[in-house]
Amino acid sequence: MTAPCNIAAALPRLAAESPDRIAMRCPGGRGPDGMARYDVTLTYGELDARSDAIAAGLAAHGVVRGTRTVVMVRPSPAFFLLMFALFKAGAVPVLVDPGIDKRALRQCLDEARPEAFVGIPLAHLARRLLGWARSASVRVTTGARAWLADTTLADVEAAGVGAGPQLADTAPDDVAAILFTSGSTGVPKGVVYRHRHFVAQAAMLGEAFGIAPGGVNLPTFPPFALFDPALGLTSVIPDMDPTRPARADPRRLHDAIARFGVDQLFGSPALMAVLARHGAPLPTVRRVMSAGAPVPAEVVASLRALLPEDAEFWTPYGATECLPVALVEGRELQATRAATEAGAGTCVGRPVPPIEVRIIAITEQAIARWDDARELPAGEVGEITVAGPTATDTYFNRDAQTRLAKISEHTPGGDRVVHRMGDVGYFDAEGRLWFCGRKSHRVATASGTLFTEQVEPVFNTHPKVRRTALVGVGAIAARTPVLCVELAEGVARGEWSGIERDLRRIGAAHPHTAGIDRFLRHPGFPVDIRHNAKIGRETLAAWAQKRLPS
């Protein structure tokens, strides 16, 4: 009998093979040294049996196949038990970043039209006070008492004990989850994931990174820990606030890595920068993956120096709508650093098989059919498009955005959806993909179009500059380019005039940056809430507009 197409389908098999293998370690209390005790664990056998019980208990409350269920639970055993229970039930978890603007969060929940809401007590209080998810008729709390909810998750689990396996016979095209984008580069949108998308992601990640069962992973972005059981890994959930990776305490991360022999690590560029600045070696780590935004070359170099010589540092390129798309290893990223600093863009490597990446002419219009798109040759900057088993095909309840982001293509193997990434880039002569920035962040000037990732690295070479951000002000058709500058830590304000003169000289040395003559010092860039790495250029553009003479 063929197993259902479901990311949770591997769990019963792994539980049968190795029931006592640790699937997950989570921080509990703290020891005298202030470090987490990690005294909360789940074996594969426990994760399988308890998620079965929760799935059965939820079914008694009407949470069954197809039930859209908001999940607002912190990274904890409850989160992972609940997510696998929902997958097993064929229900549809709805995940929204809790740190986004509260109005946007309410909008996301209204759009998702959830039928159930499972959350921590604070989430239920916010639900009641702010009117979240009014459509949810089933309300479950992770708290000890059913305060502002119908029941507790503990009672749900207790009611389902002994019910036996609960894996629904889900089909590849059945909706598996709705994952909202962070909204860092636009309005948050609910990405519809089908079961085939999750299954393909797990297979592609395992193959691309050579992940074998038995490894120990430190996933600092909790949703990625959901892949670990499907790959036979042990997840060590870090002692940190996952919504603020830039503020993680590196001592606590190192404690977990050393204590449990962590051999692979996933985190945002901001998290990598924290470890690089800390400067302590990571002798057990053999594989590092960083995604969410381009990783600065100096961070790659610094962190690689802390890893064993044979360790790999991968930076997957992708998005909520499609991941992974392309991969580049740290050594190649370092080898292309000079080109990046000269304005070539950021090398994101080669497409992950069987993903197909193609570059098309930039347009703001919807493209209904692939035959209407104009594919560009190597070396020419255009929109990045992606087709393959992990490319999602729709946004939930957002038909206009779906039309703008998706293209229908007829192939000999049948019709498929091509996703427009919203990014611009190009292929070089060696078949490597270069990222040049978000399409919406390009600055069209009277003398040509500027792309953020071809401009900012040029100026980021200044030793007293932490980072820069290109924005455009004025008329859309012929904007004035402005470079916002965030100074490195410890640089005094009084040094700004000299730094500005240096930046003008740096820009004049490169033809494509020579026309930038507006520089503004900013005290600290706004960044996205998910990875703390993507710069909020829309906010910076409004800020710059107010500070320049009209």
Angle, CA of 4, 9 and 13, to the nearest 5°: 125
Q: Is the pLDDT of residue 294 over 80?
A: no
- Please state the domain count of the chain: 3
pLDDT at 436: 97
Q: Are 312 and 334 in contact (CB under 8 A)?
A: no
Q: Is residue 341 part of a domain?
A: no
> In this structure, what CATH number is given to the domain that contains residue 166?
3.40.50.12780
Q: Is the pLDDT of residue 550 over 80?
A: no
pLDDT above 90 covers a percentage of the chain that reads 78
Q: Is residue 104 part of a domain?
A: yes
Q: Is residue 214 part of a domain?
A: yes
Q: Are residues 406 and 467 in the same domain?
A: no
> In this structure, what CATH number is given to the domain that contains residue 413?
2.30.38.10
Considering 231, 247, 263, which residue would you say is the last residue of a domain? 231
Q: Are residues 447 and 430 in the same domain?
A: no
Q: Summarize the confidence of residues 160-174 as an average pLDDT.
A: 96
Q: Is residue 449 part of a domain?
A: yes
Structure tokens at 446: 């009277």
Residue 143 has, within 13 A of its CA and on its CB side, a CA count of: 17
pLDDT at 531: 65
pLDDT at 162: 92
Structure tokens at 7: 């990311």
pLDDT band at 211 (very low <50, low <70, confident <90, very high): confident
Q: Are residues 432 and 495 in the same domain?
A: no
pLDDT digits (tens, 9 = 90+) for 432-446: 999 999 999 999 988
Q: Is residue 285 part of a domain?
A: no
Q: Is residue 289 part of a domain?
A: no
> In this structure, what CATH number is given to the domain that contains residue 463?
3.30.300.30
Q: Summarize the confidence of residues 299-316 as an average pLDDT.
A: 93
Q: What burial class does residue 475 get, using C-beta atoms within 10 Å of its C-beta: 0-12 exposed, 13-18 middle, 19+ buried?
A: exposed
pLDDT at 297: 81
pLDDT at 186: 66
pLDDT at 56: 98
Among 292, 326, 379, which Cα is nearest to 97's?
Answer: 292
Q: Is the pLDDT of residue 49 over 90?
A: yes
Q: Are residues 504 and 428 in the same domain?
A: no
User: Between residues 32 and 118, which one has the greater pLDDT?
Assistant: 118
Token pair 């946007």 is found at 104
Range of the domain at 358: 346-438
Q: Are residues 37 and 179 in the same domain?
A: yes
Q: Are residues 412 and 517 in the same domain?
A: no
pLDDT at 230: 84
Considering 207, 231, 255, which residue would you say is the last residue of a domain? 231
DSSP string of 523-534, one letter each residue: SS--B-TTTS-S
Q: Are residues 160 and 62 in the same domain?
A: yes
Q: Are residues 72 and 150 in the same domain?
A: yes
pLDDT at 104: 84
Q: Are residues 477 and 417 in the same domain?
A: no
Q: Is the pLDDT of residue 269 over 70?
A: yes
Q: Are residues 426 and 491 in the same domain?
A: no
Q: Are residues 201 and 76 in the same domain?
A: yes
Q: Is the pLDDT of residue 1 over 60?
A: no
Q: Summarize the confidence of residues 318-345 as an average pLDDT.
A: 93
pLDDT band at 184 (very low <50, low <70, confident <90, very high): low
Q: How far is CA 301 from the centre of its chain?
A: 22
Classify residue 455 as left (phi > 0), alpha (psi -120 to 50) or beta.
alpha
Q: Are 352 and 385 in contact (CB under 8 A)?
A: no
Q: Is the pLDDT of residue 368 over 70?
A: yes
User: Between residues 98 and 459, which one has the greater pLDDT?
Assistant: 459
Q: Is residue 287 part of a domain?
A: no
pLDDT at 532: 67
Q: Are 311 and 342 in contact (CB under 8 A)?
A: no
pLDDT at 549: 73
Q: Is residue 236 part of a domain?
A: no
pLDDT digits (tens, 9 = 90+) for 237-267: 999 988 888 899 999 999 999 999 999 999 8
Q: Summarize the confidence of residues 397-419 as an average pLDDT.
A: 95
pLDDT digits (tens, 9 = 90+) for 511-528: 889 889 999 999 999 987
Give me the amino acid identity at 479. R
Q: Are 223 and 203 in contact (CB under 8 A)?
A: no
Q: Are residues 406 and 495 in the same domain?
A: no
d(CA 544, CA 540) in angstroms, rounded, equals 6
> Which helix (H) or strand (E) is 509 found in, with range?
none
Considering 438, 463, 480, which residue would you say is the last residue of a domain? 438
Among 233, 226, 186, 97, which Cα is nearest to 423's?
Answer: 186
